[in-house]
Structure 1
Amino acid sequence: MSADEAAGASVTKEAAAPDRYRPSARRLAHEAYRRRRARRSALIATASTMVTAGALLALLVGSPGWPAVRRSFLSAEYARQALPEVLKGLRINLELMAVCGVLILVLGLVLAALRTLRGPVFLPVRLLATAYVDFFLGLPMIICLLVMITGVPALRLTGVTTDPLWLGGAALVLTYTAYVSEVFRAGIESVHPGQLAAARSLGLSHAQALRFVVLPQAVRRVVPPLLNNLVSLQKDTGLVSIGGVIDAVYAAKIINGRSFNSTPYLVAALVFVVLTIPLTRFTGWLTARMNRRRDQGGMS
C-alpha cells in the first residue's frame, strides 16, 4: 500500500470513528459551581475553626490562674526530664496490653460460647457465666485492682504470686473479659437462627455449627467494638500504678514527687494520646469500610 493510500485510509477511519465525549456547557457550569461551593465551605470551616480555637486560647490565657498553671503543667525543663522515664515505663503498659489483650479475647469468646449452650444439663454453666459477667460488669475497675493487689497477698496462698504487676494484669483480665464476652455474645445472637438450624440439619453438632458457621460471622461483625475495648484497655493499663508498678504513670508520679511539678503527668497523658489516636482512627476507618461493604451486599 502506498503512502497516499495509507493516509487516505487513516482519514477514513477518523471520519468513521464516533466523536469523543464532550461535556455540555450546563454540566461544566454545574461542576464549576460545585468547586466554588466546596472552596467556600472549606474557607468557612477553616475560619470558624480558627475563631473557636482563638477564643478558647484567649479564655485560657486570660484566666487569673494561668501563670500558675503554666508553671505547674507546661515546664519545658521538667518535660525533658520526664519524657525518657515515661517512655521507659511505657514498656510495662505495652506488655500488659499485649498479654492481657490476647487472654481477654480468648476468655471472652469462651465465656460467650458457654452462655449460648442450650439444654437443661448446661444450666449451671450458664448461671455461673451470667453471674460472672454481671458481677464484673458492675464492679468498678479501681476496686477490682485494689482487691487483687492488696487482698490476694493478704491471703498468703502457697504458690500464688504477690507481684503487683501480675495481680494488676489479672484484675484487667477479669474485668475486661466480662465486657468482651458481652460483645461476642451480641455478635453470636446477631447471626440469624436459621444459620444454626441449617448447619444442624446438615449433620453438624452444636459445637461444630458454632465453630464453623456462627462464630466466623459473629467475630467479623464485632471487630470494631473489640478494637474499642482494646483502646480502653490500653488506657486502663495505667491503673496498675496504684500497686507500685513503675509504668508510665508511676514514672511521672515519681518525678512529680521530687519536683512538685505536674508537667510529667501531662507528658504521660500525651504519650497515651499519641498511642491511642492511630488505633482509634483505624477503628473508625474499619467500621466505615465494613458498613460500606454491608450496604453494597458484600458482607452480611
Structure 2
Amino acid sequence: MDAIDIFFNLDVLRRSIPILLRGLGNTLLLGAVAIVCGTALGIGISLVRLYAPKPLRWLAVIYTDLMRALPVLVVLILIYYALPFAGIVLSSFVAAAVALSLVLAAYAAEVVRAGIQAVPKGQFEAASALGLGFWTTMRKVILPQAIRLVIPPHASNCVSVIKDTSLASVVAMTDLLKQATDAQALFANPTPLIGAAILYVMILWPLVRLTGWLETRFNRAYQR
C-alpha cells in the first residue's frame, strides 16, 4: 500500500464526506455563536475599562489580561470539567461556545478600546456641546469612527476563533475535527483527516484574504 492509498484514498474520502459535513456544520455554528457573543461582550468590557468607576476598570483589566494569558484549551477544560463541581453542568457545545466567547471578548475589548482612544477628543467635546448623551455619542459619533480601525484586527481574531473551534473535540463535541477522527477510526485510514484539513483551508483561506483586504482598505481610508 503506497502513500496515496493511505492518505488520499478517494473511496474513503467519498464515504467520509457526509460525516465531515455534519462536523463542519457544528464548527461553523460554534464559530458564529462565539464571534457574536464574544464581540458583544468585548465591546461592553472595553466601555467598562474606559468609562466605569475605577474598581470596575481594574476588574476589566484583570479579565482581559487573564483571558489573553490563558490558552483557550485550558479555559475550555476548566469550564467543561471544573464547573460541574460547582453544580454547573454544560453540554460540550455550550462549554466550547462559552470558552471561545470569553477569550475572544478579551481580545475584542482591547481592539475596541484602542479604536475608541484613537478618536480625537474633540469629537467627544463636539458631541457634548450639541447636547448628546453618552450612549448617543458612542453610538452615533465615536463607534462609527472607531470601527474602521477595529474591523481589520478583530476580523483576524475571528479567524483565529474559527480555527480554535477544533479544540472542542477535546470535550467530545462533534465538530469537524472530532468527526474526522471518528471517521479515521471507522475506516482505519487517515484520509478523513486530510479531508478535514481541506475543508478548513476552504473556509479559512478566503477569510484570511478578506482580513488582508479589509486592513488595506481601511488603512487607505484612514490615511485620507
TM-score when scaled to structure 2? 0.91
1:53 maps to which residue? none
2:81 maps to which residue? 150
- Does residue 138 in structure 1 map to residue 66 in structure 2? no
1:62 maps to which residue? none
Larger radius of gyration: 1
- Greater alpha carbon shift after TM alignment, 166-175 vs 204-213: 204-213
* Separation of aligned partners in 2, 1:164 and 1:184: 29
2:173 maps to which residue? 245
* Separation of aligned partners in 1, 2:46 and 2:3: 48
- Does residue 275 in structure 1 map to residue 203 in structure 2? yes
* Separation of aligned partners in 2, 1:87 and 1:73: 19
Offset of 1:252 from its aligned partner? 0.8
1:212 maps to which residue? 140
Q: Return the match for 1:183 from 101, 104, 111.
A: 111
2:152 maps to which residue? 224
SS at match of 2:189: coil
Q: Return the match for 2:193 from 265, 268, 283.
A: 265
* Separation of aligned partners in 2, 1:273 and 1:134: 31
Q: What's the RMSD between the two structures over aligned residues?
A: 1.9
1:215-269 per-residue CA deviation (whole Å, 9 max, x = no partner) reads 1111232111121122111111121111111111111111222334222111111
- Percent identity reads 35
Q: Which has the higher helix share?
A: 2
1:133-166 per-residue CA deviation (whole Å, 9 max, x = no partner) reads 01100000111111111112233x2xx4431111
Letter in 2 for 1:80: R
1:182-229 per-residue CA deviation (whole Å, 9 max, x = no partner) reads 111111111112222222233334444333321111123211112112
1:40 maps to which residue? none
Q: Return the match for 2:164 from 236, 239, 242.
A: 236
Query: What stretches of structure 2 of length at least 5 have no aligned partner?
Result: none
Higher RCO, 1 or 2 (CA under 8 Å, sep at least 6)? 2
- Number of equivalenced pairs: 224
2:37 maps to which residue? 103
* Separation of aligned partners in 2, 1:69 and 1:171: 38
Letter in 1 for 2:208: T
- Greater alpha carbon shift after TM alignment, 198-207 vs 140-149: 198-207
* Separation of aligned partners in 2, 1:199 and 1:292: 26
* Separation of aligned partners in 1, 2:187 and 2:210: 38
Q: Return the match for 1:254 from 182, 196, 201.
A: 182
- Greater alpha carbon shift after TM alignment, 128-137 vs 286-295: 286-295
Query: What stretches of structure 1 of length at least 5 have no aligned partner?
Result: 1-66
